[in-house]
Amino acid sequence: MELVEFWPWIALAAFGAYHGVNPAMGWLFAVALGLQEQSRAALYRAFAPIALGHMASVAIVVAVVALGRAIVPTDILKYVGAGALTAFGLYKLFWNRSHPRWVGMRVGFRDLTAWSFLMASAHGAGLMLAPVLFNLPGYGQSVAEAIDARDVPHAEYMFLGAPASIGTAAAQLTAVGVHTVAMFGVMTLVAVVVFEKVGLALLRKSWFNLDRLWAGALIVSGAVTAAL
């Protein structure tokens, strides 16, 4: 396998790490719950639901992109995706500085999952992955392109579609998995280090405005999508 085939997976993992390190995506809530209960167990209990909510939000984008690729020619889809990303990034940068209203500090598994899903969706965590998703190995050509390339009669669409779907589904699941594992790992690491060692005073100086950077990342993702 050539190195070029790894880069989408590395990129998905890197985005996972970036999401994991963002306090607004979950590690800070986990630390707060641990401190409130004065309990390491409360801290660790928070990780699974936060990762689950994040995963669900990302999975929706992955599924939408896959569906799009199956029914829309790649060229058109690419520009639609690039436009959506850029627009969302600009919106987040200039208009939308509010945050999801989720009043409540006493949260259980279901609440935390829903909260994490909401935060990831509102921040466009999954959208940011679009340029990578457009270039995932295993997606291959869209069905329409495959048919054109092989000059297959219309009657055989269904048969050709099937193996392509299997490859696509595996790639989708792997994409969601790689991203979530990276996010989970980094979130857990940061939360445990802050809870056990560093303390929350670091928030005052180092809580960098990831939202702004985030909006920038969305816009860059849009540009990259269009260019690739």
Partner 1 sequence: MSTWTPDPTFYPSPKMAMDAPQEELAYVAIVNPNEDGKPDALGVLDVDPKSQTYGQLVGRMNLPSSGDELHHFGWNACSAALCPNQAHPHVERRYLLLGGLRSSNIYIVDTKNDPRNPKLAKTISREEFEGKTGYSRPHTVHCGPDAIYMSALGAPDGEGPGGIFTLDHDTFEVSGPWEVDRGPQKMAYDFWWHLNHDTMITSEWGTPRMVENGVLADELLASKYGHHLHVWDIRTRKHKQALDLGPENQMALELRPAHNPRSAYGFLGVVTSLKDLSGSVWTWYQDGDDWAVKKIIEIPAEPADAELLPPLLQGFGAVPPLVTDIVLSLDDRYLYVSCWGTGEFQQYDVSDPFNPKKTGSVHLGGIVRKAAHPNGSAVNGGPQMVELSRDGNRLYVTNSLYLAWDAQFYPDGIRGWTAKIDASPEGGIEIDSDFFAEFGEERPHQIRLQGGDSSSDTFCYPD
* 31 binds partner 1 per the rule CB under 8 A: yes
Q: Does 109 bind partner 1 (CB under 8 A)?
A: no
Does 40 contact partner 1 by CB under 8 A?
no
Query: What helix, strand, coil percent values describe the chain, rounded to 5?
Result: 80, 0, 20
How far apart are alpha carbons 204 and 139 in whole angstroms? Answer: 44
Least Å distance, CB 31 to partner 1, is: 8
Instruction: Name the token pair of 6.
Output: 């790894």
- Which stretch, 24-32, 82-90, 152-160, 220-228, contacts partner 1 (CB under 8 A)? 24-32
User: Under a CB-based contact definition with an 8 Å cutoff, are residues 180 and 16 in contact?
Assistant: yes
Q: What's the CA gap between 201 and 50, in Å, rounded?
A: 23
- Let me know if 117 is exposed, middle or buried by CB neighbors in 10 A (0-12, 13-18, 19+): buried
User: Which of 101, 108, 151, 227 lies at the binding interface for partner 1 (CB under 8 A)?
Assistant: 101
Among residues 116, 129, 15, 16, the alpha carbon closest in space to that of 64 is found at 129
Instruction: Candidates 64-72, 99-107, 175-183, 216-224: pick the segment binding partner 1 (CB under 8 A).
Output: 99-107
Q: Is 24 in the site for partner 1 (CB under 8 A)?
A: yes
Q: At 121, phi and psi to the nearest 5?
A: -65, -45
- Residue 32 contacts partner 1 per CB under 8 A: yes
Stretch of 94-102, 125-133, 139-147, 166-174 contacting partner 1, by CB under 8 A: 94-102
Minimum distance, C-beta of residue 6 to partner 1, in the bound complex (Å): 34
The rounded distance, in Å, linking the Cα atoms of 99 and 211 is 10
From the CB of 194, what's the least distance to partner 1, in Å? 11
At 175, list the tokens.
Answer: 């994409």
- The answer to whether residues 170 and 100 touch, using CB atoms and an 8 Å cutoff, is no
**Contact (Cβ atoms closer than 8 angstroms) between residue 74 and residue 145:** yes
Residues 150-209 that bind partner 1 (CB under 8 A): 200-201, 203-209
Please tell me whether residue 97 binds partner 1 under the rule CB under 8 A.
yes
Of the pair 21, 35, the CB lying nearest partner 1 is at: 35
* Residue among 10, 36, 76, 166 that touches partner 1 (CB under 8 A): 36
User: Which residues ranging from 208 to 227 are in contact with partner 1 (CB under 8 A)?
Assistant: 208-209, 211-212
Q: Which residues contact partner 1 (rule: CB under 8 A)?
A: 23-24, 28-29, 31-32, 35-36, 38, 97-107, 115, 200-201, 203-209, 211-212
